[in-house]
Structure 1
């Protein structure tokens, strides 16, 4: 009677898992107490995922578990592993080993979720979102206006140097301003005022640095 209650609880759990994840999720219960490898499945939902039904035999995990039990080895749940069906579909699977009231392993709760379609979608998205690598391009941010754009470019110039303007020497400031010039920052109206103020130099010095960067 107690064993029947245990199986009933597992069946209830299986229904909850299958209902939650939908028809692409197979949930099955193996009974390994009799060590009948030809007929271990005592309950299954969404058996179309693997093409199995009640009364079918053991999987590789069941065989490995029985072998481990024979050797007296510790049983560990297998969670989130990948397997493949006979027709090539990819499953994300988990096998959870459960004991009966006597403390012996009797049940294996198997969860097999068909992720083939998701993998195909992921591959399609990768194809769309992958961009060609170009050192002159960067992810950056889309500015709301040219002032934001200038701020973004100034911040990027600081990242290029790796230190704040107060710690930059002359050569490093020239290098930062060189970057701003190549990025077109000085095409923005009154950018010279903002850049010279940011780097703590005069506008005369700024234009001198721009000339040096050209050379």
Structure 2
């Protein structure tokens, strides 16, 4: 195994698939939606991760009016918020988040505030003081807007931030923002993050002597 050390001034964390495992809910809700629209559910599930729901629907049904996607997205968010069965922390996430207490970090998620409250609560993880949710941005990942906004709210340049992400859309967004990206979980390595780990048990967080953040990462 290879050990990599990264230094940062702030960390920007995706939620689903990165610190919270919500795959069971995502699969239930999106399979139902795909079947309602005559789509292959297995193929649909390959593109749902990382994006806001309306953006996923636009990929899957490119000729469909966007207002219908936004209507379905609202219903999807309500269904996902009400369903927390099987929502658990990603291995290592509780210790990872505890180590970040007092260090600059933000949640940058495609979920809205209600869904992020529900899933972070179900996983037993502390909500960062700074979070960028669906309501905060005009464009979904892979657009970098969310990560750039998170960095700005924390008061740091993009080059001083490290992103933690699991999806192609999220990794693309982090790179487009000019940030280094740590890929987490089974989906991440295929999308060329700077470093890839199986889960957060492979990441050690420490306060650096200069006030920054020192990450010791065991790849794999």
TM-score bracket for this pair, using the shorter chain length: under 0.3
TM-score (norm 1): 0.25
Does 1 or 2 have the higher relative contact order (CA < 8 Å, sep 6+)?
A: 2
For the pair shown, the structure with the greater C-alpha radius of gyration is: 1
TM-score (norm 2): 0.24
Higher fraction of helix: 1
